Amino acid sequence: MLFELRDVWVTRGGRPVLEAFDAGLQAGATAIVGPSGSGKSTLLRLLNRLADPDRGSISYRGEPIADRNPLRLRREVSLVPQLPALLEGTVESNIRFAAGLAGRDPDPARCLRLAGLGAEFAGRDVARLSVGEQQRTMLARSLAQQPEVLLLDEPTSALDHDARDAIERTLGELRRELGISLVLVTHDPEQARRMSESVIRIEAGRAVDGAGR
């Protein structure tokens, strides 16, 4: 089991976001599906300890994640947020920064290729990229850390159909080429079906129908 969540409760600003949430996520590709505000993004943030639950337990590969060093966990379980938020500078400087954190040798050309961008993007200023290019740069940056799991928060929500299809192809190739596990948050059940082997549905902070087990 990649992740296991037991009786997880989260409140934000006094409002319950996840309530008595139970789920198991196997290695491979898992989609988390649900309407806006159902707690999908919060769930993703729990998996690499960008947030901690108020109650309940979460384990990663059988070990409680609360016992793991959060920095090392995040380099192994990399989260790509919904909206691109790159550091000022070039595409390459972002990739080098991420690789450096994980103690990896940066290979910008390879990361860009895996994320579906040409090597010519390396020297570009991130402020001059389109949203789709920024999203791919976010992905390239995460890949520079050679993570074992990618947590993807609505990776195609800001993109048109063509760009969405291209990102989906890229993610499929990543799985095949690198064997990375994916946890994908999406509000689109069709995308979940196309891209994952198991689906967890969330409604109002609770897992419904089988929770991917």
- Give the binding site for other proteins (CB under 8 A): 12-14, 48-52, 70-75, 78-81, 83-88, 97-98, 101-102, 138, 141-142, 145
Contact yes or no for 36/187 (Cβ under 8 A) = yes
CB of 75 to other proteins, least distance (A): 4
CB of 32 to other proteins, least distance (A): 17
85/118 with CB nearer other proteins:
85
24/205 with CB nearer other proteins:
205
Could you say which DSSP state residue 199 is in? E
CB of 86 to other proteins, least distance (A): 8
How far is the CA of 205 from the CAs of 8, 55, 105, in angstroms? 10, 14, 40
CB of 208 to other proteins, least distance (A): 27
Q: Provide φ and ψ at 129, rounded to 5°.
A: -90, 155
91/211 with CB nearer other proteins:
91
Contact yes or no for 136/143 (Cβ under 8 A) = no
49/206 with CB nearer other proteins:
49
Shortest CA distance to 108 belongs to which of 150, 144, 75, 146?
144
Nearest 5°: CA angle at 88, between 87 and 91?
Answer: 75
